[in-house]
Structure 1
Amino acid sequence: MIEQYDPLAKTLFIDGCQLEKISHGAVWNEGPVWLPESQTLLWSDIPNNRIVSWNQQTGSSVWRSPANFTNGHYLDLEGNLLHCCHGGRCILKTNLRTNQVTTLVSHYRGKPLNSPNDLVVKADGSIWFTDPPYGILSDYEGYKADVEQAGNFVYCYYPKTNRLTLVCDSMEGPNGLAFSVDESQLYISDTSITLPDQTIGHHHIMRYDVSSNTLGEYQLTNGEVFIEIHPGVADGFRLDRNGWIFSSSAEGIHVYHPDRRLLAKILVPEIVSNCTFGGMEGDTLFITASSSVYRIRLNTVGIQAYQCGSTVSK
């Protein structure tokens, strides 16, 4: 079911478009990523400790098991698959041609990371990721362990120099993140969920300006609350070429204009965790929702279709 709240929303939906379930049977799905070369969707079924794949010809199958409790995924500029790994408390890289797995970063200032949750790659190849403790608070989505960092931070990793810098230390539970179309701003959700009772604190997405310091390292400034998500939280989200934000919630996908207007809702019959754009034309929104995965074709293109080697032209 689609709900439209602004005249602009009419341009988003194709006549007759419908939400379609393409996979089911998971415990909790997260971290979808589209692989343009193989026309395949991958995502994490975290409690089952596996990565699942889907494509139009073969349907769903297990891609990797065990998967060391991976969560978020993204493609780097060379087409390698990056993983946020709860079990290893690190960022992993899989070469999709050789299947070789490499650990990129696992410590900050000599101490283990918490449990990297979600990540994005900037146009210059820098890798940005959130590091809440959700994967080490229990054995449900990782391995229970002590928190060794001073807080729940957002980091930027520079692969060319193997340097990791802290870019945000003011959030309680940094979770999903995505750049604006021109990469001048970064959106980050703050969920601050307390396990095991799942008490929710913050429900908002923050928006920051991206700049550089005198050392040429990135920093985030002018943080502001962009929007509050109700019901549920903004776990993960993506942007389209218009700069519109497609955010998860407890009732489906909420679509926001950068000026904070709620444009539309795509209602989903399960709690939504994440979403990503993919498909042959980059115009299909794939939605991970509790035990199932859904898709809906839209009259737009996700900006990561440009970043991840899609054939879609900008």
Structure 2
Amino acid sequence: MTQSPITTTGSIEKLDESLDDIIKLGAKIEILARGFTWSEGPLWLPQENKLIFNDIPPNTMYQWSEKSGLQVYLKPAGYTGTTPRGGEIGANGLALDPDGRLVLCQHGDRRMARMDAPLNAPTPKYVTLADSYEGKKLNSPNDAVYKSNGDLYFTDPPYGLEKNMDDPAKELPYQGVYRVAKDGTVHLLTKELSRPNGLAFSPDEKKLYVANSDPDRAIWMVYDVQPDGSITNGKVFFDATDMLKKEPGNPDGLKINKDGILFATGPGGVLIFSPEGKHLGTIKTGQATANCAFNPDQTELYITAHMYLMRVKLK
């Protein structure tokens, strides 16, 4: 893992003139750090003025800032067991809860957890938020987002299991999308997706978007969010299955800006969609691209792509 002089890579593909209102004219894809195994889960910490993200296989979370560069932030991040095991054991998606505490999707421990330490003194001590549904252990929580009322939504594909779908330790017969209510109860929202992955709310929280990282059905779904927190009326928002024949990367992480524009990692890099599902352009990283995150004023997009941490300046 190296903090190297900032270089650029890839290109910005414009498919619609409105992209000029979203990405800074002449913006480059900057490489901020490199040498990771599979970088994931970027999250900006406003109070710390730094980005944190995971390198999943080595079970390590890193921090990056303009001032201090690249450093280890937290280890172990996703698997705290003492018995060695294979697979993608680290943490994946990250979020801040309503109280500003760090919440992790822990692959190895197969749970949603909260770090039991302040952000400025990270310590690998964790409190379990959810690790089972109806008495069966979760697969490996992958990505998460909070609703403004404090409910935690997360996806649970099998990627953190040692043998994926064929792992004998897999207890649930499906891959679910879940909601953890403020009272700690876990609610299954849908089990219809084969590989649910990234998820995000529209700015008004009336829509929930979910990526499905299945190469045979590489889609983003959109659902109506009901007053009780459940989701209904699921329909395909965008189908990228044919794009996978030409570009690397399944639908994975996604973020939505204050104008409802979707930044969704998928075939080719980061695909940018209007709220109506029009593909406006792509940040073409040249890598299978895992996830992305904004800085506080949404003028920068940080991207985790295979072995790299990248950045693109936005308007």
Structure 1 and Structure 2 fold alike (TM over 0.5): yes
Which of 170, 193, 207 is the equivalent residue of 1:171? Answer: 193
1:29-84 deviations in Å (ceiling 9; x for gaps): 11111100001111110011111110111111111122221111011111001100
Find the counterpart in structure 2 of residue 307 from structure 1.
none
Find the counterpart in structure 2 of residue 156 from structure 1.
179
Find the counterpart in structure 2 of residue 84 from structure 1.
105
TM-score normalised by structure 2 residue count: 0.86
Find the counterpart in structure 2 of residue 3 from structure 1.
13
1:145, distance to aligned residue in structure 2 (A): 4.9
Distance 1:226 1:102 in 2: 35
CA contact (8 A) 2:250 2:288 kept: no
Matching residue's letter, 2:258: R
CA contact (8 A) 2:298 2:314 kept: no
Distance 2:45 2:117 in 1: 10
SS where residue 57 of structure 2 aligns?
Answer: helix
SS where residue 47 of structure 1 aligns?
Answer: coil
CA contact (8 A) 1:173 1:191 kept: yes
1:253-290 deviations in Å (ceiling 9; x for gaps): 110111111111111132211111115x3321000000
Which of 272, 277, 286 is the equivalent residue of 1:269? Answer: 286
What does 1:90-169 correspond to in 2, within 5 Å?
Answer: 90-97=111-118, 99=123, 100-138=125-163, 145-159=168-182, 161-169=183-191
Which of 93, 96, 118 is the equivalent residue of 1:75? Answer: 96
Find the counterpart in structure 1 of residue 263 from structure 2.
246
CA contact (8 A) 2:30 2:311 kept: yes
1:116-139 deviations in Å (ceiling 9; x for gaps): 000000000100000111111439
Distance 1:75 1:202 in 2: 30
1:16, distance to aligned residue in structure 2 (A): 3.3
Which of 300, 306, 309 is the equivalent residue of 1:284? Answer: 300
Find the counterpart in structure 2 of residue 303 from structure 1.
none
Find the counterpart in structure 1 of residue 254 from structure 2.
237
Distance 1:291 1:61 in 2: 16
Distance 1:17 1:136 in 2: 38
1:166-216 deviations in Å (ceiling 9; x for gaps): 111111111110001100010001123xxxxxxx2221000000104xxxx
Which of 221, 226, 238 is the equivalent residue of 2:237? Answer: 226
Gaps of 5+ in 1: 193-199, 300-314
The number of residue pairs the alignment matches comes to 282
Distance 1:96 1:4 in 2: 43
Matching residue's letter, 1:92: A
SS where residue 70 of structure 2 aligns?
Answer: strand
Identity %: 34
CA contact (8 A) 2:139 2:161 kept: yes
Distance 1:264 1:63 in 2: 33
Distance 2:213 2:275 in 1: 20
Find the counterpart in structure 1 of residue 222 from structure 2.
207
CA gap of 1:64–1:83, structure 2 versus 1, over 3 A, is same
Runs of 4+ in 1 over 6 A off after TM superposition: none
Gaps of 5+ in 2: 1-10, 80-89
Find the counterpart in structure 2 of residue 257 from structure 1.
274
Give the superposed CA RMSD: 1.5
CA gap of 1:145–1:21, structure 2 versus 1, over 3 A, is farther
SS where residue 301 of structure 2 aligns?
Answer: strand
1:101, distance to aligned residue in structure 2 (A): 2.3
1:250, distance to aligned residue in structure 2 (A): 3.5
CA contact (8 A) 2:257 2:298 kept: no
SS where residue 98 of structure 2 aligns?
Answer: coil
